Structure 1
Amino acid sequence: MKASIKESDKIAIPVIIGLSIAVPLIVLVLMLLPERYNIFGADPLTFPIFHGILNFLTACLLIFGYFFMQAGYIVRHRNTMIAAFGLSVVFLVSYVLSKISNEPVPYGGQGIIRYIYFFILISHIVLSAIIVPLVLFTMYRGLSGQYEKHRKIARWTFPIWLYVAVTGVMVFMFMLPYY
C-alpha cells in the first residue's frame, strides 16, 4: 500500500504545485485585462451575488464538516468537505468568468470603514492564494488514506479556508452599495 501512495505522490504533488501556481497567476492576469468581454450579457451584480452565496454555503459546509469530524462521522465529514471543495471550484470558475466579463468596481466607502474593508480585502486575497495548495493537499491526503498527514495539514487548512469563505461574504456585503 505504501508503494502505491508514493507512486501517486509522484503524480499528485507536481499537479497540486502546478495548480497552486497557475490559479493565482490566471486570476491576476484576468484582473489586469485591458478590455472585458461580457460573454453572458450578465448584469454586473449577478456574479457578486452568486459569489456571495457560494462563499456563504462553503463556510456553512466547512463548519458542518468540522463538527462531523469532531463527532466521529467520518463519511459525513468526507462528503461535506468534498461538497465544500466542489463549491469552491464552482466559485473559482465563476470568478474567472466574472473577471473576463466585468470591469472592477471601486470601493466607495469613507473613513474608518474604508480601512476595515481594505484590511479584510487584502487578507482575503492573500489567503485565497495560500488556500489553493492547502486545500488540494488536504483533500489529496484525506482521499488517498494518508490520514495522519491529512490531520496535520487540515489544522491549518480549515481556519484559513473558513476565513477566506467568510471574508468573501463580507467583501460582497461591503461592495453591495457600489455595484
Structure 2
Amino acid sequence: MFDVREQVPALTGVLTVVSLALVFGAVGGAIPSALLPRVPDSVLGAIPTVNAVISAAAIGTIVAGIRAIRRGDVERHRRLMVATFGLFVAFLVLYLYRVTLLGPTDFAGPAVVETYVYFPLLAIHILLAIVAIPAVYYTLLLAASYPVSELSRTNHPRAGKVAATLWLISFSLGIVVYLMLYLIW
C-alpha cells in the first residue's frame, strides 16, 4: 500500500523537478508556443500587473498565516497557507503562459542599473524561488499526510518557517522586479 508519509521526500523531489522543468522549459523556449491558445495582447500585457497583485496578496496570506499559527489558530493557518499555495499556482500558470508566448521581458533601464541592481535582485529572487519550491512542497505534503495532532512532531514547523521566509522574500523581490521592468523603466 502507498503510504504518503513514507514518500514525502520522494514526492517533494518529483514535484520539484516537474515544477522547475516547466519553468526552465518555458523561460528557455523549450515549450512550443503553438501548443497554447493565444489571448488578446491586452490580456498578455496585463499578466505582469496581475501577478504583482497576486504576489502582494500572497504576502498578505503568508503573514496572516504566520500570525494565526502563533495564536494557535491551526484551522485559519491551514486555510491561509492553502490560499497562498493557490495564489502561487495562479501566479505560476500566468507567468508560464506569458513567458512561453512572449519570452522573458528585457530590462529597459540604464545598463549600470541593470548590472548592479536589477540582475542581482533578479538572481536572488530566482534563487529563493527555486529553493522555496521544495520547501513549500515538503511542508504541504507533511500537512496533508499527518493529522494536526502529530504535525508538531514532524519537520512541518521547521520546514514551514523556512518555506514562509523564502516565499515572503521571493514574492517581495518579485514585486520589486515588476516595478523595475514595467513601471520605472
Per the alignment, residue 27 of structure 2 pairs with: 31
Give the 3-state SS of the residue equivalent to 1:40 in structure 2.
coil
Per the alignment, residue 45 of structure 1 pairs with: 45
Per the alignment, residue 163 of structure 1 pairs with: 169
8 Å CA contact 1:36, 1:103 repeated in 2: no
Gaps in structure 2 of 5+ consecutive residues: none
Matched, 1:16 2:22: no
Matched, 1:128 2:134: no
Matched, 1:70 2:76: no
Gaps in structure 1 of 5+ consecutive residues: none
Give the Cα separation in 2 of the matches to 1:50 and 1:65.
22
Identity %: 20
Give the Cα separation in 2 of the matches to 1:65 and 1:112.
39
Per the alignment, residue 59 of structure 1 pairs with: 59
Give the Cα separation in 1 of the matches to 2:89 and 2:47.
15
Give the 3-state SS of the residue equivalent to 2:38 in structure 1.
coil
Q: Paired residue for 2:157, among 137, 151, 157?
A: 151
The residue identity in structure 2 corresponding to 1:130 is V
CA RMSD of aligned residues (A): 2.3
8 Å CA contact 1:16, 1:133 repeated in 2: yes
Please report the TM-score for the alignment, with normalisation by the length of structure 2.
0.84
The residue identity in structure 2 corresponding to 1:155 is K
Give the 3-state SS of the residue equivalent to 1:125 in structure 2.
helix
Give the 3-state SS of the residue equivalent to 1:45 in structure 2.
helix
Deviation, structure 1 residue 107: 0.6
Please report the TM-score for the alignment, with normalisation by the length of structure 1.
0.86
Give the 3-state SS of the residue equivalent to 2:41 in structure 1.
coil
Deviation, structure 1 residue 161: 0.9
